[in-house]
Amino acid sequence: MSDNGRVSPREQVLSVVARIPYGRVTGYGTIARMTEGTSARSVGSFMRQLPRGHGLPWHRVVRSDRTLADHGGNTHQRELLEGEGIRFDARGRIEPRFFWP
């Protein structure tokens, strides 16, 4: 929480990410719309800065075109998502039925 008692945009983003249910994904833009004063680009930046092992389901955040973000962990991300039962179509996009909210 910031000095003025308000929750920072980063904290808002992380709070939304923490609520993404098992077996579901959401997009950077969706998270941005659920937070105050945050853009999809900012959400992506916050997600890239997270250290691995932080306990948040980073792998459940994907691009608006239903593909995985290109930041080096795609193979691992896909494995984690498939382990949760999330399925991809023939073009490598996550099937729409797995999106939250």
Within-domain flag for 2: no
Q: Can you give the CATH number for the domain in which 90 is found?
A: 1.10.10.10
Question: Residue 69 belongs to what domain range?
Answer: 9-98
In a domain, 4, yes or no: no
46 belongs to a structural domain: yes
Is residue 68 in a domain? yes
First to last CA, the chain: 25
Q: Count how many domains the chain has.
A: 1
Q: What mean pLDDT do residues 62-91 have? A: 89
Q: Is the pLDDT of residue 72 over 80?
A: no
* pLDDT tens profile 16-65: 999 999 999 999 999 999 998 899 999 999 988 888 778 899 999 999 99
Is 70 contained in some domain? yes
Buried b (16+ CB within 10 A) or exposed e, 23-44: ebbbbbebbbebbeebebebbb
Please list, in sequence order, all residues whose beta carbon lies within 8 angstroms of the beta carbon of residue 43, skipping any fewer than 6 positions away.
Answer: 13, 28, 29, 31, 32, 35, 61
In a domain, 62, yes or no: yes
Please state the pTM of the whole predicted model.
0.89
Answer whether residue 49 is part of any domain.
Answer: yes
Average pLDDT on 68-75 reads 72
Most confident of 2-6, 57-61, 66-70: 57-61
Query: Is 89 a member of any domain?
Result: yes
